[in-house]
């Protein structure tokens, strides 16, 4: 009996020794597998982001600078720049250059449009006094709050104008252009909405929440103007590229209705 107990103890000890010896190898294998999976996921995400960037250029940014979209973009830029020039004269040139950076991707186009403003507005201001004191000046937060209030009350044209005022004050804020695009989309002004969302996408954002809203709104605008397949494909590519976007997509009934997406899947 004593011999049997001794043999059992020896076997148990051997098993423990084997377990201890193989444990580091097991941990190493798990770490290597996890590391390989992380690298693969990072590569796939990077690839998806590259494809999404190409789609942004092809579907939105190039589109905004061609044909009717280009004409409307130019009109909006000139109107905004002239308003700024009427308020501040030559002091407004810095902000007008910021508008050009937001509106246009081509350096040549930027220079042409800035020159137009300088020729037609700044020169006139040298020959006339401009009384800017009769117009009240409000903050960006005021126009944002007003815009959201109009959206809540389904006054979409008024909301678009409020967000437009906000973008004039801060032309390189992607979230403001995104809100302006959404208001224009809800008002049925799809060409204007395309222009605004293209500017938002060109400016971009490091904030994941803003990126998610921009992606969803961009897909809605594509679908609303009749490019349903492009809208669906863009939404899928955005899901591939932006972490945790899918739960937001599944909750957006407006997106499901406009793009004819089954959100239950």
Q: Which has more pLDDT, 59 or 132?
A: 59
For residue 73, what are the contacts with CB-CB under 8 A and spacing of at least 6?
64, 65, 103, 104, 195
Interatomic CA distance for residues 182 and 185, integer angstroms: 5
CATH number for the domain whose boundaries are 139-258: 1.25.40.10
Interatomic CA distance for residues 209 and 72, integer angstroms: 29
pLDDT digits (tens, 9 = 90+) for 216-246: 999 999 999 999 999 999 999 999 999 899 9
Q: What is the pTM of this model?
A: 0.70
Give the mean pLDDT of the chain: 80
- The domain spans of the chain are 67-125, 139-258
Q: Which has more pLDDT, 35 or 147?
A: 147
Q: Average pLDDT, stretch 7-36?
A: 62
Q: Which of 185, 174, 184 is nearest to 223 (CA)?
A: 185
């Amino acid at each position: 009996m004593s011999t049997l107990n001794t043999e059992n103890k020896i076997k148990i000890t051997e098993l423990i020794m084997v377990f201890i010896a193989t444990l580091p190898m097991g941990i190493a294998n798990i770490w290597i597998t996890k590391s390989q999976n992380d690298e693969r996921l990072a590569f796939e995400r990077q690839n998806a982001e590259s494809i999404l960037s190409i789609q942004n250029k092809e579907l939105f940014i190039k589109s905004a600078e061609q044909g009717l979209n280009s004409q409307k973009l130019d009109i909006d830029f000139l109107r905004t720049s002239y308003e700024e020039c009427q308020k501040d004269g030559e002091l407004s040139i810095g902000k007008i250059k910021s508008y050009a950076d937001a509106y246009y991707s081509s350096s040549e186009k930027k220079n042409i449009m800035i020159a137009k403003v300088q020729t037609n507005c700044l020169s006139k201001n040298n020959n006339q006094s401009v009384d800017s004191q009769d117009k009240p000046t409000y903050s960006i937060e005021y126009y944002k709050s007003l815009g959201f209030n109009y959206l809540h009350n389904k006054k979409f044209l008024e909301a678009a104008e409020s967000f437009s005022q906000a973008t004039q004050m801060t032309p390189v804020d992607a979230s403001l252009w995104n809100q302006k695009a959404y208001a224009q989309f809800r008002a049925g002004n799809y060409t204007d909405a395309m222009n605004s969302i293209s500017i938002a996408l060109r400016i971009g954002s490091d904030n994941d929440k803003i990126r998610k809203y921009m992606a969803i709104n961009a897909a809605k605008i594509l679908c609303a103007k009749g490019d349903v397949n492009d809208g669906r494909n863009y939404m899928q590519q955005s899901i591939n590229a932006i972490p945790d976007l899918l739960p937001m997509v599944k909750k957006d009934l407006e997106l499901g209705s406009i793009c004819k997406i089954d959100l239950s899947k």
